[in-house]
Amino acid sequence: MKIALVNLLAYGAALVGAVALIHPHRNVLEAPPPGFSYKLPKAFHPGSAFRASQASDNVQRLRGVRGTKTNVKSVAAVLGAHQRQVGGFGYENITTTTAYGTQYATEAVWDGIHTWLLLDTGSSDTWAVGSNFTCVDYAGEFLPQGACGFGPPGPEKFAYGYTQPEQHMFIQYGDGEIVSGPMGFSDIAFGNITVRQQEVCLANTTFWYGNNLTSGLMGLGFPSLTNAYLGSSDDHDPDNQIEYSPVFTSMVSQGQVPPVFSIAIDRNSSSGILAWGGIAPAVGADFSQIASLDLIITNLIELPVTAYEYSFYTVIPDGWLFDQNTNTKKYPYIVDSGTTLCYLPPPLAEAINLAFQPSAVYLWMYGAYFTSCNAVPPTISVKLGGIDFWLNPVDLIYRNMVDPLTGLCMTAIASGGSGPYILGDAFMQNAVVVFDVGEAKMRFIPRPFY
């Protein structure tokens, strides 16, 4: 059975009286993709007022790192894993792209050991490799540890011992990567905040495409997406899955910060800021315009707990504008720091890519669109809460992602199949993104081009 050890009460309030709506206004959301449905719930802290001046003193610098294989270890990876487990729902697995991309990492102190962890708003587990981990290839054959591309390993053991009863983490990502290992309790510090006795994993078996800096991943998602199982490392039966408190849930429940964090990614793809409990200081942020969107529940049908608990940071934009064209069809989008590109409905993605001069073409081996590296992008904005968030033309063509056969460069707009769709780093570089969990809102603050 699925045991809810921790739920959203950890944020300070229960989801009492959640409104069972598929969308906030009748007939505005297009039909959800197979295997998904959506709800609009009430806020966790309905009395807490958002303040744009709520700058955080708890900030950490992010470091952009280039992956050696794929830029998708996040929301898309989680969705791809669920899709395979249930035999597929007939929607395109967007994790099959082999696009090289930038990932963002932050430094943590794990039981006194300094380690770099990938930052991911689209998953919930926090893990690092132990010193004696086993690296394997896609077929499960043993490889030297260096083949997995990790940085220095985390601690050799958990400061507070293993979980009782025995638990392990197992994640199979959409691009084939696998991480598994025992779970226990450790102190993890992020800047000047220490999360005490946090449940985490020290991975002992991995199939991984690393960047030679990071040694694991920090998931900032909700408890419903955690991947812990009772028993030994060979038993991943969904009936034995255990829900536990992820890092940010614990940080809030321990009274360390208010229930909000924010991210500002720098345009040069080499750095950024993660702010705990408030607003990230960001160059050029226009606080006179703040878009506030309801955070909606994303129900994965094969995961019943997500029908009434939050899983992904999902919003419904007003629409898209490109050149003189407007598309106001309403679809849910996941806001994801772990994905480089923006994944849109196929007709919209194709129309925007055709508007490049010269037009971008779809290369099936990448699952992405490519155009001349000197192409002129269309003007593109996504409208959120009535505000246009313009994507800088600099962010729309990845000149360091070149197809060697054609010499063409990848665009930032990709097809997301039948969804759900993703607002990735190409969007996030143009805004301060505030994850206001207490108010059940996503806030977006524009950053002008610079």
Confidence label for 92 from pLDDT (cuts 50, 70 and 90) = very low
Show which residues are catalytic.
120, 336
Distance CA 193, CA 330 (A): 39
Distance CA 410, CA 399 (A): 7
How high is the pLDDT of residue 72?
47
**Helix/strand/coil for 238:** helix
Distance CA 282, CA 447 (A): 8
* Among the listed residues 316, 312, 321, 308, the one whose alpha carbon sits nearest the alpha carbon of residue 351: 321
pLDDT surpassing 60 at residue 100 = no
**Class at the top of the CATH hierarchy for domain 58-276:** mainly beta
Domain boundaries, the chain: 58-276, 291-446
Distance CA 295, CA 313 (A): 6
pLDDT surpassing 60 at residue 47 = no
Rg for the chain (alpha carbons), in Å?
21
How high is the pLDDT of residue 116?
94
How many beta carbons lie within 10 A of that of residue 286, not counting itself? 13
- Looking at the chain, the whole-number percentage of residues with pLDDT higher than 70 is 74
DSSP annotation string for 53-109: T-B-SEEEEEEEEE-SS-S--SHHHHHHHHHHHTT--SS--GGG-----EEEEEEEE
pLDDT surpassing 60 at residue 450 = no
Start-to-end CA distance of the chain, whole Å, equals 52
pLDDT surpassing 90 at residue 223 = no
Mean of all residue pLDDT scores within the chain: 78
Determine whether domain 291-446 maps to CATH 2.40.70.10: yes
pLDDT surpassing 70 at residue 121 = yes
Residue of higher predicted confidence among 413 and 17: 413
* Token pair 């967007």 in the structure block, residue: 94
Distance CA 355, CA 396 (A): 12
Q: Do domains 58-276 and 291-446 have the same CATH topology?
A: yes
Among 20-29, 194-203, 408-417, the least confident range: 20-29
Which two structure tokens, joined as six digits, stand for 189? Answer: 């510090």
Q: Tell me the per-residue pLDDT of 159-177, one tens digit each, with 9 for 90 and over.
A: 999 999 999 999 876 567 8
